[in-house]
Amino acid sequence: MLSVLTLNLWHDAGPWKTRAARIRDWIDRLDPDLIGFQEALRGETTDQVRELLGDRAYHCDYVCASPFWRDPANGAADSGPREFGNAIASRWPIASRETLALPDAGDGETRAALSVTIDSPHGALSITCTHLHWKYRHGAVRERQVEALCDLALRRRPREGFPPILVGDFNAEPESAEIRYVCGLQSLGGRSVAFLDAWRVAGESGPGHTWCNRNAYAAEALEPDRRIDYVFTGFPQRGTGIGRIEGCRVVCDAAEDGIWPSDHFGVYAELRTQPLTGTPS
């Protein structure tokens, strides 16, 4: 199986050092092959993802979405300019990359996507990671963002290879126009695409909320429970079933001593890497 994790890190808010330990525990428990991080910080002297992963054997890449406006939390040493963006960590080497500045509302909030191709034992893999505009009223902006985002992910998919993978914090519920577009359930501007939503295909029981008032950090926002973090994939290979979504669950969803890993829960999915029984190898 190919295992994929996506998690919004909530930058360095709250008790970051302790939260980081909770996230590391989950990474060690899940042992994902690919990770997409959102709200990751990078500065002149620090790299939040590298700090988080330590000596774990991951290859990493990063894209800046915007400058970060808050002072370092919890006595962090980096007092210089910092960036806020998305990162990908891969068990295998990253062969190529492409970044994309996403459409915005012209209000100063900017977002980006990072897409990489990975040399894996399963052949070339492509994964794209993003974080879309966050406000409820930004649906029209997110619609333009998913159009550009899906074009990027599809353009970079390996031909005749593993289905493209698209992960991130989309800040939109499954019934929204932007998510329906990604899943091939409606068109936007006369165009359509179709990815599979891992939770919809193989999620465990329940609504799959990743923004949840059970989480004390999320509850402070006074917003309703929602499913807004996703692992999407292209359709599995016909005949072999390679890339089929075999399982999906919400993770990073428990507190220890009152400390949650993040204000979001994560999503973890497993994809088939071997042909189905009875299919050609």
DSSP state of 21: H
**Nearest alpha-carbon partner for 130 in 179, 183, 99, 167:** 167
Overall residue count recorded for the chain in this entry? 281
Which domains, ranges and CATH numbers included, belong to the chain? 2-271 (3.60.10.10)
Question: pLDDT (tens digit, 9 = 90+) per residue, 167-220?
Answer: 999 999 999 999 999 999 999 999 999 999 999 999 998 999 999 999 999 999
pLDDT at position 279 is 56
Sequential DSSP letters for 186-211: S-BTTB----EEHHHHHB-SS---SB
Distance CA 85, CA 43 (A): 11
pLDDT at position 278 is 66
pTM greater than 0.85:
yes
Is residue 202 within 8 A of residue 222, CB to CB? The reply is no
Band of residue 98 on the pLDDT scale cut at 50, 70, 90: very high
Distance CA 255, CA 273 (A): 33
Q: Which residues contact 90 (CB under 8 A, 6 or more apart)?
A: 33, 34, 35, 58, 59, 60, 116, 118, 120, 127
The rounded percent of the chain whose pLDDT value lies above 70 is 95
Alpha helices (H) along the chain:
16-30, 48-53, 139-155, 177-182, 198-202, 216-219
Question: pLDDT (tens digit, 9 = 90+) per residue, 4-33?
Answer: 999 999 999 999 999 999 999 999 999 999
